[in-house]
Amino acid sequence: MSKKIAVLPGDGIGQEIVAEAVKVLDCLCDEFGLPIEMESGLIGGAAYDEHATPLPAETIALSKDSDAILLGAVGGYKWESLDISVRPEKGLLGIRAELELFSNLRPAILYPQLAAASTLREDVVSGLDLMIVRELTGGIYFGQPRGIRTLESGEREGFNTLVYAEYEIERIGRSAFEIAMKRDRRLTSVDKANVLESTELWREVMERVSKDYPEVELSHMYVDNAAMQLVRDPKQFDVMVTTNMFGDILSDCAAMLTGSIGMLPSASLDLNGKGMYEPIHGSAPDIAGQNIANPLATILSLSMMLRYSLDESSMAERIEHAVNQVLDSGLRTRDIYADGMQEVSCSQMGDAVVKAILSEQL
Ligand code: IPM
Ligand code: MG
């Protein structure tokens, strides 16, 4: 029976990069019999323009009714002055919450072909393969109370709440330990337990969960040190697990180790492994519509989807081999361009991946 994918391109470069991932998916369906149906939906600013909400009920229904979701990106200058409750980002946060996609996997892998594109020395980053597991439906992103209030003095104050219930820490902990079991069995839990009670509890629960995973070596690190260690010696890490906001920040940092944020895919999973897949970069309004964005993070997100949600790891391998082959051949979008390489557009990069898939001998 064929499986259904909800395709939500969103805003900005989201439209361009998702179009390239869809080309790849079409190729796998037409040429290799992958049994997939796709249906598109609106999210973010694009949804706001049509329905005055960044997350229409139809998009929630479509996503719930699908086996997996492919998302581009949300946001852009056009919607920046809207009230925060209807800004494009609320669409993304809303769908994460609606589907309880609490476990966000953000792998940072350095493709050897791109070692020179990193701003860090080649010996620091070559061979990098780390996984950031970010809690995605709790913490300060969702904590109540929140808002901007006016004090008696007439001055305004903005406030947010960093709150984590034990069950939220426990389930993201288990998710991270399970991943560590399939890798090098080293897990670093990142917190700010020296200052924040919510992460003092985080640390305690991680210790407790670790009792069920004696083969995994658990260590703890404060987030400021983790940021420093990521750029000092990123290869010391295997799997990192952290809160929603720390994970947001550290994953951008880890992305740059790999040469470009345009290369990093992600998976956001619920308890049953149903997931939404998206590049970790945003909608990049400054380059939207110019056909110069890098579609590889989205194409690689598709391969994560095939592996994690659709049980089609051989199809995922086809994509990963093809991306390697394209990079070997010297094709580069602008963000990963280096001397001696051939610069290509977003759509040319997508075409090249399709061509490489068709020429593979697997
Ligand atoms: C991300 C993004 C989002 C986040 C924004 C767009 C709401 O930065 O997925 O990392 O902060 O989670
Ligand atoms: Mg982010």
Residues 210 and 176: beta-carbon distance below 8 Å: no
β-strand partners of 275: 68, 269
Indicate the pLDDT class of residue 115, thresholds 50, 70 and 90: confident
Q: Kindly report the pTM of this predicted structure.
A: 0.94
Q: What is the pLDDT of residue 184?
A: 97
Burial class (CB within 10 angstroms; exposed 0-12, middle 13-18, buried 19+) of 153: exposed
Indicate the pLDDT class of residue 362, thresholds 50, 70 and 90: low
Best mutation site among 71, 92, 142, 256 for ligand 1, i.e. most ligand atoms within 8 A of its Cβ?
92
pLDDT, tens digit (0-9, with 9 covering 90-100), for 34-85? 999 999 999 999 999 999 999 999 999 999 999 999 999 999 999 999 999 9
14-32 and 313-328 are packed helices; what angle lies between their axes, rounded to 10 degrees? 120
Q: What is the pLDDT of residue 297?
A: 96
pLDDT, tens digit (0-9, with 9 covering 90-100), for 9-37? 999 999 999 999 999 999 999 999 999 99
Q: C-alpha dihedral over 328, 332, 337, 340, to 10 degrees?
A: 50
Within the chain, how many helices (H) and strands (E) appear? 12, 14
Ligand 1, atom 10, residue with closest C-alpha? 248
Cβ < 6 Å from ligand 1: which residues?
A: 75, 89, 92-93, 248, 280, 282
Give Cα 100 distance to the centre of its chain: 15
- Residue 248 catalytic? yes
Q: Where are the beta strands (DSSP E) in 15-174?
A: 36-40, 68-73, 103-109, 129-135, 147-150, 156-159
Backbone angles phi, psi at 5, to 5 degrees: -115, 130
Query: Angle 113-117-119 (CA atoms, 0-180°, nearest 5)?
Result: 140
Indicate the pLDDT class of residue 117, thresholds 50, 70 and 90: confident
Q: What is the pLDDT of residue 118?
A: 86
CA distance 228 to 237: 12
With 80 as the cut, is the pLDDT of residue 1 above it?
Answer: no
CA distance 129 to 238: 7
Indicate the pLDDT class of residue 338, thresholds 50, 70 and 90: confident
Best mutation site among 93, 142, 243 for ligand 1, i.e. most ligand atoms within 8 A of its Cβ?
93
pLDDT, tens digit (0-9, with 9 covering 90-100), for 82-99? 999 999 999 999 999 999
Q: What is the pLDDT of residue 42?
A: 98
Q: What is the pLDDT of residue 319?
A: 98
pLDDT, tens digit (0-9, with 9 covering 90-100), for 304-332? 999 999 999 999 999 999 999 999 999 99
Q: Where are the beta strands (DSSP E) in 192-347?
A: 217-222, 239-242, 265-269, 275-279, 331-332, 342-343
pLDDT, tens digit (0-9, with 9 covering 90-100), for 248-272? 999 999 998 998 889 999 999 999 9
Nearest-atom index, ligand 1, CA of 92: 7
- Residue 252 catalytic? yes
Nearest-atom index, ligand 1, CA of 96: 12
Q: What is the pLDDT of residue 302?
A: 98
- Residue 335 catalytic? no
Q: How far is the CA of 56 from the centre of ligand 1 (A)?
A: 19
| Average pLDDT of the segment spanning 210-231 | 98
Q: What is the pLDDT of residue 196?
A: 98
Q: What is the pLDDT of residue 176?
A: 98
- For the chain, give the percent of residues with pLDDT over 70: 100
CA distance 348 to 138: 39
pLDDT, tens digit (0-9, with 9 covering 90-100), for 119-173? 899 999 999 999 999 999 999 999 999 999 999 999 999 999 999 999 999 999 9
CA distance 237 to 30: 40
In the chain, what are the domains?
Answer: 1-102+285-362 (3.40.718.10), 106-269 (3.40.718.10)
Non-local CB neighbours of 212 within 8 Å, separated by 6+ positions: 174, 177
